[in-house]
Amino acid sequence: MGSALMRIDALQYANWSEKIFRQLREGGVDAVHVTIAYHEGFRETVLNFEQWNRWFEQYPDLILKGTQASDIDRARDSGRTAIFFGFQNPSPIEDDIGLVEILHTLGARFMQLTYNNQSLLATGCYEAEDSGITRMGRQVIREMNRVGMVIDMSHSADRSTIEAADLSQRPIAITHANPHGWMPALRNKRDDVIRAVTQNGGMIGFSLYPHHLKDKSDCTLDSFCSMVARTADSFGVEHLGIGTDLCQDQPDSVVEWMRVGRWSKEIDYGEGSADAAGFPPMPDWFRDNRDFGNIETGLRAVGMNAGEVAAIMGGNWYRFFSEGFGPA
């Protein structure tokens, strides 16, 4: 039936297969937010929904489509994993605010206002100038609030993220990132950004993508869990969860798609270096979905109590899902 603790991962972009669906069950993962669009337009995104519908039909004993928090209970009761959909870019809505509701109806529950670049809505974390939330962005935030689609600022620049947290009438999320003070990557978040999100009731999911980790692939479990504990002390344990950013079994060509899409003829190496264009190896204590128990063990080892560990591993995301996925 899975673990007694609820386990929710707020971001994965795996190369999905029966193998990974079975590993989700072995790891007792009750729910996962999966990326189904990076740079796709609306029609291409619909094809990705279709692919997932086929998987739900093929593997009904392993996975089910999640649209509300109660689907996680249904998954736990039946020994399955609930799959929630999200976009890492607002490209699926193109320039049409009406598609926010259409995509929510299809099952989308998260949308990043930017990937790494400037979008029609806000500024990405790789741009030199951050002009904040745009005119369209303000309207889209309002519409996402109305229908129950979570605003995700994981790849957005600082000013844009703080403005989104303040403008949104509902709590927002950074589904996969770590504190910049622990690991100064462009994608990691400074304290004032984390404060803006959490003070407005939002969530941050800690990433296990090696480019976001101190010492990268050599990051220790103790280092990661000590960082989580310090963040809890600073911002409140109730605002924290896990968003692994697991990109399991993906070919290196997918890294290029993630970073480049169709906007550049040249490869943009992003957080990697030119000689490390592919996926870095995961830390040895978190190779795939079977290793969530190691994080729980690590959090207990750094002094977190059972209630705090349960909150971070899934309880906080469950509450956030239950409050964020329905109409306002």
Q: Which two tokens stand for residue 297?
A: 């063990």
Burial of 21 (0-12, 13-18, 19+ CB in 10 A): buried
Distance between CA atoms of residues 28 and 2, nearest Å: 4
Which residue shows structure tokens 């079977």?
290
Residues 179/189, Cβ–Cβ less than 8 Å = yes
Residues 137/122, Cβ–Cβ less than 8 Å = yes
* Record: fold of 8-324: TIM Barrel (3.20.20)
Q: What is the pLDDT of residue 1?
A: 38
Q: What is the pLDDT of residue 307?
A: 98
Distance between CA atoms of residues 64 and 79, nearest Å: 10
Cβ of 276: how many Cβ atoms within 10 Å? 13
Burial of 138 (0-12, 13-18, 19+ CB in 10 A): middle
Q: What is the pLDDT of residue 269?
A: 62
Which residue shows structure tokens 């990937």?
115
* pTM across the whole model: 0.96
Sketch the domain layout of the chain as residue ranges: 8-324
Q: Per-10-residue mean pLDDT for the chain, 328 residues long?
A: 79 97 98 97 98 98 98 98 98 98 98 97 97 98 98 98 98 98 96 98 98 96 98 98 95 82 80 59 97 98 98 98 95
Q: What is the pLDDT of residue 273?
A: 44
Q: What is the pLDDT of residue 324?
A: 97
